[in-house]
Structure 1
């Protein structure tokens, strides 16, 4: 339209161009083949720098690349959860780089026509971003892409800690656990940014334990040997209120061989199956009256070759007949937060296989305890039966103590 006017009214259009140059936002793109003066102008007179505005650069020649960038050049307080787009109505986009003031790049994708680039990740709160690149018009000429904007500052930043650790090999019952440093009120928005990828098909679900923890478990135990990757793509997500995701992270771990143990408290025996086959039957002792061992699916949380066990940690004070303080309990494996372990207990050898005399732990000979310690990984399940006392939610890694359908109902996206 403008070029047509130029052909017909050269002098008049010069005046129009001068008015546009004075009254519009400055250029976001520069032609690599044309002189900068008078070659391009903004299509949005009086363009503002508020979030969501775009920067656009129509060319005088309809065959030239015509660049539009959202958000606008110089925009401030841009929401970190909104995508950045670079669009041309003529020709193709050759390349786009979006990076913050620390030099960290944000990935993006081109559509099939290469006419629009869209960022694929969230942005950091309180950061200045630069958009750069080139586009090529159907006339074969290149146009530079050049823009900057600033995202809004977060009142609080959301960060994640994760179990298992990156590169760890864990047992078949290991839940993925994400611990947030801030309470999440928009759980659905955050959960949409979480992704689990497995080397073999595995059905699973997220489950919110509380506002600061979300877990993931499969429908059944993880298949042995599975490679698992967890993408926590929370940079730029609004977790509710003025809490924004400050960063994203990715961890990968491997599922070890299947080691599933069963403890029958009433029969004073533990069986260990490795790869689905019985590997050993072990005489044990469990909790006596007043210290009943909990029944349920427990998961090995920690492993210690030696561990001090002080009854004061469970509320039994020195002077009490049940008080103990043993400095070197061997081959100890924690299965509850409240203090139940599976460990070597040479002091109860006379009761192992026949009576329950412990303060809640599962005790066995040092030889059996050392063997068992050598077979297990963090995340291996220990299924306990034979008592009327049951596992409390959150007393350890209790994800397997409810049906899958009930567990799935704890997803914010269910």
Structure 2
């Protein structure tokens, strides 16, 4: 069996039927049909068939999916146009009107909006719980619960959910379990090994790694991926040939990038922890994180995401200091998204303020002084020096 780094380069190469070392971009919407009508009918109905019509499949999409499935240790995977396309398609492949879903208080903002607004408008009940409390998940389950949807580490507050507990709970109760594994990446965390049924990603982030594409991925059993693929046909969020090719290219360096990012982030978190203007550093790799022991148990690395909360007498003072820090940083760009080779920083209260109530922000740990940092692969000395000059 190939090692991870080798699989990133060579998995799914059989989908490249040319002599090109680098898989080509199949910039076509449709393919020549076989003269045999029976073969044509098979191509029109077979899940993810790579050479029928682009909304159904694409050879590069098939290769990318094979690599991601290998990483997540699942039978199959499906790639789509965005992370939210993956999240919404996967959820809609599980639930329908009258069903119930257990979620967390802290999730990626767009996922929370999907749960709160879309699902409930269409007759699906949703119960949010504290993800750090195992008993809360069990208590929230009802007779019509069909899905437990988790995200760990969570966005943006970096709380940890107990994967082993959730996987076992789902199996015992016959409930599908699903995780957004974007923040960790499969280099740092493989949820399938803990019994989680479905894994979704915003492949825009670590999997792509260069902030030059949008994509999403769903990983699971072949049966589930076939079902999700049929949902995707009518939802229409197929991944473009060029973005698929970019994603395949980005995946080749995933392990190298993530390991350097992990190392940089731990060093930066340790440095920030000692600064008097930083009130709090939230990083799962620090012993000060309240769930550090659990993180060590289920993660192989601690991710490139950390949060800091600047000091201030009140919210207004915190906001002003957060703004001053953003203005002072030179290497950390004030931008949304994460997981690229470049370092980014964002103010969650500003990003999501319009779509969350004050109570929802509080439950998600989003304060006026909170800053979310995505650490890149720049030299750590330069990253620390940038914060040092900005804080001074």
Q: Shorter chain as normaliser: what TM range?
A: under 0.3
Larger radius of gyration: 1
TM-score (norm 2): 0.23
* Greater relative contact order (Cα < 8 A, sep 6+): 2
TM-score (norm 1): 0.22
Higher helix share: 2
Higher strand share: 1
